[in-house]
Chain A
Amino acid sequence: MDRLPRWADVALVPFVSLTLAALISALVIIAIGQDPWEAIKVMVQGSVMNAYGWGYTLYYATSFMFTGLAVTVAFHAGLFNIGGEGQAQLGGLGVALVCLFLPWPHWTLALLGASLGAALFGAAWAAIPAYLQAKRGSHIVITTIMFNYIAASLMIFMLVDVLRPPGKMDPATANFPPETHLPSFNEIPGLNLVFTSGVPANVTFFIALAMAVVVWLLLWRTRLGYQIRAFGKSEPAARYAGINPTRIIMITMLISGGLAGLMAINNVMGEAERLLGNSASGAGFIGIAVALMGRNHPVGVVLAALLFGFLFQGGAELGLWTKIPIELRTVVQGLVILFTGALDMMVRMLLTRIFALFRTRKLEAA
Chain B
Amino acid sequence: MANQSGAEAAYAIELKGISKAFGPVQANKDINIAVPKGTIHGIIGENGAGKSTLMSILYGFYKADAGQIFVNGQLTPIPDSQSAIRAGIGMVFQHFKLVQNFTVLENIILGAEEGQMLNTSLTKARKELERLARDYDLEVDPDALIEDLSVGHQQRVEILKALYRQADILILDEPTGVLTPDEADHLFRILKGLKEQGKTVILITHKLREIMEATDNVSVMRRGTMVATVKTAETSPEQLAELMVGRKVLLEVDKGTARPGEVVLKVEDLRVRDEHKVERLKGISFEIRAGEILGIAGVAGNGQSELLAALGGMQAATGTATLKGAPLPLSGAGSDGQSRRRSGIAHVPEDRHHHGLILDFTAWENVAFGYFNDPRYQKNALFMDNDAIRADTERKMAKFDVRPPIPTLAAKSFSGGNQQKIVVAREMEQNPALLLIGQPTRGVDIGAIEFIHKQIIALRDAGAAILLVSVELDEIMSLSDRIAVMFDGRIMGFRDPEKTDERELGLLMAGVTGKGEAA
Contacts and interface: CB of A to CB of B under 8 A. Distances in A.
Contacts of B31: none
A221 B357 contact: no
The majority secondary structure among interface residues of chain B is loop
B354 A237 contact: yes
Contact of B355 (A240, A356, A360): A240
A233 interface: yes
The majority secondary structure among interface residues of chain A is helix
Nearest to B336: A242
A226 interface: yes
B65 interface: yes
A281 interface: no
A221 B66 CA distance: 45
A363 B365 contact: no
A239 B337 contact: yes
Nearest to B340: A242
Given A222-B384, A242-B341, A360 B354 contact: no
Interface in B324-364: 336-341, 347, 349, 354-361
Contacts of B312: 240
A237 B356 contact: yes
Given A221-B383, A221-B386, A360-B63, A240 B365 contact: no
Contact of A241 (B65, B337, B359, B384): B337
A269 B373 CA distance: 40
A335 B345 CA distance: 54
B90 interface: no
B136 interface: no
B518 to A, nearest CB: 34
A229 B378 CA distance: 18
Nearest to B378: A223
B313 A242 contact: yes
A233 B383 contact: no
Contacts of A360: 63, 65
A226 B383 contact: no
B249 interface: no
A307 B313 CA distance: 47
A236 interface: yes
User: Which among A223, A237, A360 has the greatest number of chain B C-beta atoms within 10 A?
Assistant: A237
B397 to A, nearest CB: 20
Nearest to B360: A233
Interface in A194-245: 217, 221-223, 226-227, 229-230, 233-234, 236-237, 239-244
B384 A242 contact: no
Contacts of B384: 221-223, 226
B73 interface: no
5 contacts: A234-B358, A236-B354, A240-B347, A240-B349, A242-B313
Interface of A: 2, 217, 221-223, 226-227, 229-230, 233-234, 236-237, 239-244, 356, 360, 363
Interface of B: 22, 63, 65-66, 312-314, 336-341, 347, 349, 354-361, 365, 368-370, 372-373, 378, 382-384, 386
